Homo-oligomer: A and B are copies of this chain.
Amino acid sequence: MADVTLRDVARVSGCSVATVSRVLAGTRPVGAETARRVREASEALGYRPNHAARALRSRSTGTVGLVLPQITNPFYPTLVRELTHALHAEGRAVLLADCDDDPVAEAEYIADLLGRQVDALLVIPAHEERSRDAVTAAVARVPLVLMDRGCGPAVADSVAVDNTAGMALVLDHLAATGRRRVCFLGAAGTASTATERRGAYAAGAAALDPGAPDRVALGDFSVEWGRAAVDEVWPTRPDALVCANDLIAVGALQRLQQLGVDVPGDVAVTGFDDIPMAALSAPGITTVRQPVAELAAEAARLLARRLAGGEEGPRQAIRLAPELIVRESSAPSTASRPSGTVPAPGGGRRAVPTQTGPSAPA
């Protein structure tokens, strides 16, 4: 309450402010007895360092800015949580900015955060191209790590899941469970998550069926698009819908159920990200889980490295391996129907089960 300063601690412990500073920061060796007295006094007075003063003097605020496109995107809360925890563990605080998918707002937030002397920036760019200038400008001022999405080649250090590997996990799984007429419900646009996932689909789907790479519908990463996409592709009678993220999968599932289509009997549905809703949906959605805690830890590590080692060293692009989470939405089409369910009207061939756990690694 009463703002206790270094001077107060110095007075009470009977030494100079310099000594107190050294004890508390551990910057330089201090006599054991003196150190004890200082710590005692500091404790007794309830001393709290004034970060503003410290920042002014040491040019470091112990603060990092986190700029993201939409906290309401269900993939981000978990990421934010892991990031804040990782950074707090290093004694840093997190300034949060939600730019609402607007690159202009994003640029303003970045500028504002730089003005507030953040030590570093963590950015999930809102747009592949339109975020680039602001990010590039920021990179020149502070360490900056890009997360989740890219923003041009080698613009900054980056950490993301290996989307290509994730899509391969899905396709392998579908192949192994007898699906052939797969079809991709993806997102148009240049976001790296969109391009990488659809690229990986195109590359891998040919192994299932020569026609598969062309069975692609592109919209955005939303539930609404998932619903609409089903109407677009259903006439081609696919036996699996590979969705570019879980929201699309949720939408697809809804529309299929509305149409009376049996999932997974008639068609399998898969997602990407493993947002909470994927597990809670009925049927549960088979998806690719991003290693969120590890992504956060890597980002924090990269930042720490730049903050310590200065600017040197080449840009790093870290890709972490995802994990396939198998749920009911992709149970083999050959599976017998669970009891308590009614056969769909369209009627489809189906037979022997192969084995499907609620969650199995690839």
Q: Given A71-B81, A94-B95, A341-B345, decide whether A115 and B280 contact each other with a Cβ distance below 8 A.
A: no
**Assembly CA distance A1 to B141 (angstroms):** 6
Residue of B nearest to A284 (CB): B254
A276 interface hit (Cβ, 8 Å): yes
Q: Given A84-B96, A345-B340, decide whether A140 and B1 contact each other with a Cβ distance below 8 A.
A: yes
Q: Convert A39-50 into 0s and 1s, putting 1 for each residue whose CB lies closer than 8 angstroms to a CB of B.
A: 000000000111
A5 to chain B, nearest CB (A): 12
**Assembly CA distance A277 to B276 (angstroms):** 10
A99 to chain B, nearest CB (A): 10
Q: Pick the contact of A51 from B72, B117, B280 — CB < 8 Å?
A: B117
| Residues in B neighbouring A282, C-beta threshold 8 A | 254, 257, 282
**Assembly CA distance A55 to B116 (angstroms):** 10
Q: Given A1-B141, A254-B280, decide whether A93 and B71 contact each other with a Cβ distance below 8 A.
A: no
A43 to chain B, nearest CB (A): 14
Q: Given A56-B53, A342-B345, decide whether A85 and B100 contact each other with a Cβ distance below 8 A.
A: yes
A360 interface hit (Cβ, 8 Å): no
Q: Pick the contact of A96 from B70, B96, B112, B115 — CB < 8 Å?
A: B96
Q: Convert A274-301 into 0s and 1s, putting 1 for each residue whose CB lies closer than 8 angstroms to a CB of B.
A: 0011001010000000000000000000
A290 to chain B, nearest CB (A): 14
A293 to chain B, nearest CB (A): 12
Q: Pick the contact of A95 from B56, B71, B93, B109 — CB < 8 Å?
A: B93
- Are A115 and B81 in touch, CB under 8 angstroms? no
A321 interface hit (Cβ, 8 Å): no
A8 interface hit (Cβ, 8 Å): no
Question: How many monomers of this protein are in the complex?
Answer: 2
Q: Pick the contact of A48 from B48, B51, B77, B114 — CB < 8 Å?
A: B114
- Are B52 and A276 in touch, CB under 8 angstroms? no
Of the candidates A116, A276, A346, the one having the most CB atoms from chain B within 10 angstroms of its own CB is A116
Near B by CB (< 8 A), chain A positions 251-285 give: 254, 257-260, 276-277, 280, 282
Q: Convert A43-78 into 0s and 1s, putting 1 for each residue whose CB lies closer than 8 angstroms to a CB of B.
A: 000001111110110000111001000111010111
**Assembly CA distance A113 to B98 (angstroms):** 20
A111 interface hit (Cβ, 8 Å): yes
Kindly list 14 other residue pairs between chains A and B, CB separation below 8 angstroms, not including A258-B341, A277-B280: A52-B116, A52-B117, A53-B56, A77-B77, A80-B96, A84-B96, A85-B98, A93-B112, A94-B97, A95-B96, A96-B96, A260-B341, A340-B346, A342-B344
**5 A-B pairs with least C-beta separation:** A52-B55, A96-B96, A52-B56, A48-B115, A51-B116
